[in-house]
Structure formats: C-alpha cells, structure tokens
Amino acid sequence: MGQRSAGRIVILTGAGISKESGLDTFRDADGIWARVRLEDVATPEAFARDPATVHAFYNARRQGLLAESVQPNPAHLALARLEAEWPGEVLLVTQNIDDLHERAGSRNLIHMHGEILKGRCLACGAVSAWREDMTLESRCRRCEAAGYLRVDVVWFGELPYQMERIYAALEACDLFVSIGTSGVVYPAAGFVEAVRSSGRAHSVELNLEPSDRHSAFAERIYGPASEVVPSFVERFLSEPG
C-alpha cells in the first residue's frame, strides 16, 4: 500500500458473502444452479420463451430475500465499517443482486449484475423499486404499460452495469479485495488481471476455499466470510500509518 491515507480500495463480492445470511450461492453443491438450469431462467432467450417461469424464479428469490431471517452478516457490516473509517476511497462492486450491502451501511456501491428489488420497463425504460411478485400483468410505475416488466437483473449474455467506472477504479486502486466469489464468471473473474496490469496494487482473495483465480492473488485467506472479512478489516484499519 502506498501513502495509506490516500489508498484507494476496490472490493468485489459474490454470493459467498451472503451465504451466512441465509441466501444460496450458485455453484456450491446446494447452490441455485444445482436445482435449476440457468438457461431456463437467467438469459434473455429464456425470458422471451417463457417469461412466467422467469418471473416465478425471481419472485421466489425476492420473497426469500425479504424474509425477516435474512439480515446482513458480520462480513457485510465489516465492509461498511471499512468504507466509513478508511480515509481513502472504498468502492464496493458486487455481483450480488441482494440488498444486504446497503442494509449493512455500504454507500459507494455498484451492483454490476443489477438488483432483484428493482424492475425495469421494456416499454419506457423506467427502473423502479419492486418488492412484490412480478407477473405478466404487472404494470410499469411510470408509463403504466402492462406485461413489459422484467426484473432489473443482468442475465447471461447481457452487459453488466457501469463497467467503464469499474475498470477505471481497478486500474487506479492500491488494494483489490475479492470476497465470496468462485471466479468463474466474467468479466468479474478477470478483475484481478486488470488490477495486476497497473503493477501497483496489492490483491487479496477472501473465500471459503480457493477460487478458480486464486493463483492470481498476492494474498489469500480462507474461511467463512463472517469470520475472515471482519478480521481482515480490523487488521487493515489497525495497521500503523
């Protein structure tokens, strides 16, 4: 890390950070893709072919997220603490579509794969908060067109959000921390390469087990996010100047 007070930090999170809050990951043995084919529910073609099935898939996940038992865990809270206490910029880029980072207090946040609690109208383009079930009859909050709504989530084959801003931050950062992601889905899996191209930043992987990109990281710490993330943040914030 260069001048610590000016150090810029980029954090990438994946489904593993929300696992201990009660949300399923995708590629673990008990993950979502072990139960349903992504080709049936998470592509534009699936939505064109069978929108009711896609709505039902996200309706079930949305209601699961809104359950009282699903709360930010110590890993989410530790990242919000880092943003609040670190004097330099902390940008949190999440692949997750849940709102647990916001609820933990993170503000400088990009949902590169969108948000399950938002809906987007294909008739007028409006994006609005959406917490109830979405159906073929759901009406846009702005233009009131019925049957043109989709969940505001980025599907396979679509371009993730705010990629230019993300790459600019990766190339300028002094520290890149990847948390709870298997490193198999691009472009997020390639972020560590973008950081290494600057030749300046330190890179850390915090995960339950080595990801597909583990060898690209300068430092690797394994264990449950609710343990390794708070201890990493505590150590980082208490390091001398």
Kindly list the catalytic residues: 113
What residues numbered 61-100 form the site for ligand APR, per CB under 6 A?
95
Measured CA to CA, the distance from residue 39 to residue 18 in angstroms comes to 23
Query: Of 60 and 143, which has the nearer Cβ to ligand APR?
Result: 60
User: Regarding beta strands 109-111 and 9-13, do their DSSP bridges make them parallel or antiparallel, or are they unpaired?
Assistant: unpaired
Least distance in angstroms from the C-beta of 161 to ligand APR: 12
The distance of Cα 129 from the centroid of its chain, to the nearest Å, equals: 18
Asked whether position 182 contacts ligand APR by CB under 6 A, the answer is: yes
Q: Is 173 in the site for ligand APR (CB under 6 A)?
A: no
- Whole-angstrom Cα distance, residue 198 to residue 187? 17
Under the binding rule (CB under 6 A), the answer on residue 19 touching ligand APR is yes
For ligand APR, the nearest residue by Cβ is: 16
Q: Give me the least distance between CB of 87 and ligand APR, in Å please.
A: 27
* Contact track, ligand APR, 99-118, x by CB under 6 A: --------------x-----
Quickly list DSSP for 175-201: EEEEES--S-STTGGGHHHHHHHHS--
Least Cα distance to 131 among 109, 105, 99 occurs for: 99
Q: Among 1-9, 54-62, 100-108, 177-185, which window interacts with ligand APR (CB under 6 A)?
A: 177-185
> What's the DSSP call for residue 31?
S
Q: Is 40 in the site for ligand APR (CB under 6 A)?
A: no
Query: What CA–CA distances, in Å, run from 210 to 19, 43, 149, 224?
Result: 16, 28, 38, 12
Number of residues that bind ligand APR (CB under 6 A): 23
Nearer to ligand APR, 42 or 140 (CB): 42
Q: Do 212 and 181 contact (CB within 8 A), yes or no?
A: no
Q: Does 31 bind ligand APR (CB under 6 A)?
A: yes
Alpha helices in 98-151 (DSSP H): 100-104
Contact 206, 230 (CB under 8 A): no
- Region of 8-16, 61-69, 125-133, 162-170 interacting with ligand APR (CB under 6 A): 8-16
Region of 56-64, 170-178, 190-198, 204-212 interacting with ligand APR (CB under 6 A): 204-212
Interface residues toward ligand APR, by CB under 6 A? 14-16, 19-20, 25-28, 31, 95, 113, 180-182, 184-185, 207-209, 211, 224-225
